[in-house]
Amino acid sequence: MSETWWRGAAIYQVYPRSFADGNGDGVGDLAGLRSRLPYLSDLGVNAVWITPWYPSPLADGGYDVADYRDIDPVFGTLAEAERFIAEAHARDIKVIIDVVPNHSSTASEWFKQALAAGPGSPERERFWFRDEPGEWRSIFGGPAWTQVPDGQWYLHLFAPEQPDLNWTNPEVHAEFHDVLRFWFDRGVDGIRIDSAALLAKPEGLTGRFEDLDEVHDVYRSWRRISDEYGGRVLIGEVWLPDQERFARYLRPDELHTAFNFDFLACPWDPARLRSVIERTLATHVPLGAPPTWVLSNHDVARVVTRYGRADTSWDHGDRRDGVPSDLGLGFRRARAAALLAMALPGGVYIYQGEELGLPEVDDIPGELRQDPIWTRSGHTVPGRDGCRVPLPWSGDEPPFGFGAGRPWLPQPEDWRKLTVEAQTADLGSMLTLYRTALRIRARLLGDGTLTWREHGPEVLAFTRDSGLTCVTNLSAAPVPLPPHEEILLTSGPLDEGLLPPDTTAWLM
Ligand code: NOJ
């Protein structure tokens, strides 16, 4: 693959705790991940993105990193991570890891040193310590300031265990430069940058804390390092509704790509989807940056559940946990959406379990929930555990081949129909759809451009550079297919030659 492999890649997101458990302790790990590499090869993805695997007290599923230069013992060892990278490469799968520059962990050496050194010390200057708390609220609920025993307060935009780093301090810059080199030296092909727009804070720590101009200097310096290594890819987690501001992260000397959350948040509605797609292309094309298409990740409700609800949009502020969903309808739409996302120009992300059509698990008992959103909301918002339940691989009952132990979050009994094993044998399964689509995509789709075809107001139709036409029917009635010579794939059966509602077809 070329140096710009990422422009049209299919990237599979691994949430390691929930992917596969090799040592039987109920938590996914590197041994499990390595043993399932053949599955990822067979699925046909070009890269994996692994969410944080570093030592962490897991106050926020690993997004509280205590040490960037090691692997959490629950997952394995650094040597094992190196073996994993080599094994993935041997299968032509690139490896992207997660870096979390906005905050650290209270278990990090730096934070321990800051506590020990006391107020006014250079060690405290790596964080945001103040004598009085500020007004900001934590994104996870509750105040964004926590007091330490000597009376000072420190800032944490997320959980109290995730102290924000002070990006006006050159030591912080140097540390992350070193972390990038540490992993690039070990062969990783790219970095996913967590909360990428939050790093710079306004003077006085009041007012808006998102998307301050200073943050771009950070990414310019990271780009120089990535370029030194032959262009390792930098991918921003940038949730910004303002496209002009979003585009600034994709300038030629900054990040290569960023997640397109507008597409994920968009309701299943033809006009809205068309306008998000057009807006996305209008933002990316002038910059020469490839768009990305994301339907789900470890922070949002599963696609099947979302698309089966009366309101199919996504909003972080209103997670709609437990809102009833017609899963049959959601499943049909998720299949149609997968073919739509995979046909669009640019890269596509697949969150583990999306290819199995897993629904959100709404009935996890409160005492087993781990997400800080659950605790910090005073047990009123269940949070993100429902999309993080360990994968079902095989067999008729939990743990469904996930590993020998009891999974860290309980799997629903009826997932027996959704295991990899059950779906491999079923030509009509979600897994078969993903496998087939990814194979076609590798040949005919990915990076490039599209030309819209007008096919009625509630139908999205476009043709790609290869000549493949993708048509999605979002109306309530079947529609004729546009002229074609061959039907390559459909997300559901045709109805007497017509394309039924909530169905996508790929035509040549
Ligand atoms: C975004 C990550 O995807 C999420 O899981 C995490 O809680 C926050 N950033 C804070 O790191």
- Nearest CA to 369 out of 331, 437, 321, 302 is that of 321
**259 is a domain residue:** yes
For the chain, the straight-line distance linking the first and the last C-alpha, in angstroms and rounded, comes to 26
77 and 197 share one domain:
yes
Share of the chain above pLDDT 90, in %: 97
16 and 82 share one domain:
yes
* Cα-to-centroid distance, 104 and ligand 1 (Å): 12
**Mean pLDDT within 264-288:** 97
**168 is a domain residue:** no
* Whether 194 is catalytic: yes
**Mean pLDDT within 102-128:** 98
**Mean pLDDT within 483-504:** 98
Q: Domain tally for the chain? A: 3
**What single-letter amino acid sits at 285?**
V
Integer Cα distance of 159 and 105 in angstroms? 10
* Whether 486 is catalytic: no
Q: Tokens 């997670």, residue?
A: 319
Enclosing domain of residue 141: 109-155
318 and 458 share one domain:
no
**Nearest residue by C-alpha to atom 10 in ligand 1:** 63
Find residue 351's DSSP bridge partners: 13
Q: How confident is the model at residue 3 (pLDDT cuts 50, 70, 90)?
A: confident
**175 is a domain residue:** no
Q: How confident is the model at residue 349 (pLDDT cuts 50, 70, 90)?
A: very high
CATH number of the domain within which 143 lies: 3.90.400.10
**268 is a domain residue:** yes
Integer Cα distance of 198 and 211 in angstroms? 6
* Cα-to-centroid distance, 275 and ligand 1 (Å): 28
For 275-297, give one letter per residue: b (16+ CB within 10 A) or e. ebbeebbebbeeeebbbbbbbbb
Find residue 236's DSSP bridge partners: 193, 258
**161 is a domain residue:** no
Residue 60 CA: nearest ligand 1 atom is 7
Catalytic one of 82, 228, 278, 318: 228
CATH number of the domain within which 471 lies: 2.60.40.1180
424 and 477 share one domain:
no
412 and 387 share one domain:
yes
271 and 349 share one domain:
yes
Cβ atoms of 313 and 266 within 8 Å: the answer is yes
Integer Cα distance of 10 and 206 in angstroms? 40
Q: How confident is the model at residue 241 (pLDDT cuts 50, 70, 90)?
A: confident
Q: Which of 17, 97, 100, 235 has most ligand 1 atoms within 8 Å of CB, for mutation?
A: 100
Can you read off the two tokens belonging to residue 55?
């030592």
Q: How confident is the model at residue 40 (pLDDT cuts 50, 70, 90)?
A: very high
Q: How confident is the model at residue 1 (pLDDT cuts 50, 70, 90)?
A: low
**Mean pLDDT within 248-256:** 97
Helix (H) or strand (E) holding 83: helix 78-90
Please determine, for residue 138, whether its predicted confidence score (pLDDT) is greater than 90.
yes
Q: Tokens 């493949």, residue?
A: 468
303 and 430 share one domain:
yes
**What single-letter amino acid sits at 187?**
G
CA distances from 8 to 121, 285, 407, 474 (A): 48, 14, 35, 26
* Cα-to-centroid distance, 303 and ligand 1 (Å): 19
* Cα-to-centroid distance, 299 and ligand 1 (Å): 7
Q: How confident is the model at residue 370 (pLDDT cuts 50, 70, 90)?
A: very high
336 and 421 share one domain:
yes
Share of the chain above pLDDT 70, in %: 100
Question: 0.85 cut: is pTM over it?
Answer: yes
**What is the Cα 308 distance to its own chain's centre?**
21
Integer Cα distance of 32 and 43 in angstroms? 17
44 and 137 share one domain:
no
Q: Tokens 């321990």, residue?
A: 112
**342 is a domain residue:** yes
208 and 249 share one domain:
yes
**Mean pLDDT within 15-27:** 98
User: Ligand 1 site: residues with CB under 6 angstroms?
Assistant: 60-61, 63, 100, 158, 194-195, 237, 298-299
**169 is a domain residue:** no
Integer Cα distance of 16 and 20 in angstroms? 7
How would you class 156 by CB atoms within 10 Å of its CB: exposed for 0-12, middle for 13-18, buried for 19 or more? buried
90 and 132 share one domain:
no
**339 is a domain residue:** yes
- Which of 408, 438, 468 is the last residue in one of the domains? 438
Cβ atoms of 152 and 125 within 8 Å: the answer is no
384 and 272 share one domain:
yes
**Mean pLDDT within 79-107:** 98
CATH number of the domain within which 249 lies: 3.20.20.80
